[in-house]
Structure 1
Amino acid sequence: MDHVFWLTQGHASEPNAWYAGTSPQGLFRSNDGGVTWDGVAGFNEHPKRDAWTGGAQDGTPDGPKMHSIIIDPRNARHMYVGMSSGGVLETENQGQSWKHLNKGLKHFFIENPPEDAPGHDPHCVVMHPAQPNRLYMQAHTGIYRLDRPGDTWERIGLKMPKTVGDIGFPIAVHPRDPDTAWVFPMDGTSVWPRTSPGGKPAAYVTRNAGKSWTRQDKGWPASNAWLTVFRQAMTTDAHDSVGVYAGTTGGEVWASTNEGASWRCIARNLPQIYSIELAQPAR
């Protein structure tokens, strides 16, 4: 393990439990609020793990990582993880054993790959808080939705405009409406690092679970703005009119207080932003 990339608090019934996702891809758990940590052996000793790691970028900020750790609010033993190269895995016994959940995902190199093929590359996976059977994913190969107990992802990003595409890093969901989600698409061609298509940044929202998407660019620069938003740098709040927030690698934080209808920059000159989290003020 080179560094910790992501932290997720455990189930509400385990207030001192935390999970850490690392680069290269590893999973650790603390039972004492982060004072001590133990590896989750069922994952870290998985027979496929060597196939997910070992690349030239292992341990670097842009390298492969465990980036999404999801605890089912109905069951502390039921979890999902999303990671570079290995895709999505599910456990129903708090990490003792895992099964792949990659059916339906387009593979970057292999046509009709098996679920456990290395190379599946989700960028961000989220569970809808009001409907835990619904998962959304922004991946290296598009935008997807999975409704459990189904086991096949549907590529809902195919409804995005062809000139924009459905490649990007983050995805964020409405706190109450399971059909509403936001993405920040980036150029999915050979351009690297990924930036806003054509230098015209915009969020896109679906309000029907991916059947259609609407561009939301009011307030964003109209041209020559080659912005990048990383996988954990877009989030929402729980206000009646939901706020949507995005942080860029150029150190800017953009905010919308009307569900993406308009945006403004609320902070500049920060370091490169990897993540945005919101905290509810004390009353």
Structure 2
Amino acid sequence: MTLPECNSPPTPTSIDGNGSAPWGSVLVCGGGIAGIQASLDLSAAGFRVFLVEESPTIGGGMARLDKTFPTGDCATCIISPKLVECMRDYNIDVLTMADISSLSGEAGRFVAEVRTRPRGVIPSRCTGCGDCWTICPVRNTAEPPPPFQPDKPLAEADAARLGGILATHEGRPGNLLPVLQEIDRSYGYLPRLLLEHMACRWGLRPAELLRVASFYDRFHFEPAGRHLVEICAGTSCHARRSRTLLEKLEKETGVGVGETDKPGRFTLRTVRCLGLCALSPAMKIDGQPFGRVDLDRVPEILEQFA
């Protein structure tokens, strides 16, 4: 197909959300998050947009991410509204499995030729049910992966403890998070081998458990010390040199952030906010708050938890 020139008049069927016709056309290459946002912005400005993507779907690498740096926000929660808005926008024509075969003209008046590859299904009628797999004439059919098996057996005591926890929550809706919380309370962290055996018993993949467990700061995958030291890294505390406080704690405990000292006494962690902005810089040890912490007081405070 040959796309219209950038300054050519729009087709009568292309309208924007306000009912007015766009006055030009634009070609956007790549259907990642940047291409989607660019298409939405151009459509809002009154252009007709052709979004060309070589893969079968739009979303790019961000659609395959779990969380985003540095805030840790859910990538799917960020991109999903933009995907829906892009697909519903009458000014945006999404061309997937397509390649630009030629481009001619000059700045402001380009003519692009886009070649789309065959799909084997009608995109407008596809619901993603998967029934076409059973009648597909292609010989190389998809095979489910083999069931997961842990590499090592559990100790007898750990197996009995895990069995008791799973039996308590067996068959209850939304039981995954309560089971992880109970394992965390029992062990002080989430042992990897225990999660593998849990996944095996419930017929899950370890990635499904790790995806949930890694989303919450409450869960940890390494043993913690007897005392948990949390330093606030929020805006107020950062402005009042909480970084200097953190360096002092690292020096006194001999460990870095996320680590536990050799005697197993302290585990050092940072949190986004402790709710003690008026007392910044602030920290907590085992839930006990300490505000307006002076560097000279740090050894004295740590000695209280000997």
TM interval, shorter chain, is under 0.3
Higher strand content, 1 or 2: 1
TM-score (norm 2): 0.22
TM-score (norm 1): 0.23
Higher helix content, 1 or 2: 2
Larger Cα Rg: Structure 1 or Structure 2? 2
